[in-house]
Chains A and B, each alone.
Chain A
Amino acid sequence: AQSVTQLDSQVPVFEEAPVELRCNYSSSVSVYLFWYVQYPNQGLQLLLKYLSGSTLVKGINGFEAEFNKSQTSFHLRKPSVHISDTAEYFCAVSDPISNFGNEKLTFGTGTRLTIIP
Chain B
Amino acid sequence: DAGVTQSPTHLIKTRGQHVTLRCSPISGHKSVSWYQQVLGQGPQFIFQYYEKEERGRGNFPDRFSARQFPNYSSELNVNALLLGDSALYLCASSLVTTYEQYFGPGTRLTVT
Contacts and interface: CB of A to CB of B under 8 A. Distances in A.
Contacts, number: 71
B61 interface: no
B101 A43 contact: no
Q: How large is the interface on B (under 10, 10 to 19, 20 to 34, 35 or more residues)?
A: 20 to 34
B31 to A, nearest CB: 6
A51 B99 CA distance: 8
Q: A-side binding surface: helix, strand, loop or mixed?
A: loop
Interface string A72-104: 000000000000000000101010101111111
B45 A105 contact: yes
Given A43-B90, A46-B100, A105 B55 contact: no
A43 B4 contact: yes
Interface stretch (A12-20, A61-69, A106-114): A106-114
A71 interface: no
Contacts of B99: 32, 49, 51, 94, 96, 103
A106 B45 contact: yes
Interface in B6-24: none
Contacts of A110: 40-42
Contacts of B45: 104-106
B94 interface: yes
A102 B41 CA distance: 23
A46 B10 CA distance: 24
B54 to A, nearest CB: 10
Interface of B: 4, 31, 33, 35, 40-45, 48, 50-51, 55-56, 58, 90, 92, 94, 96, 99-106
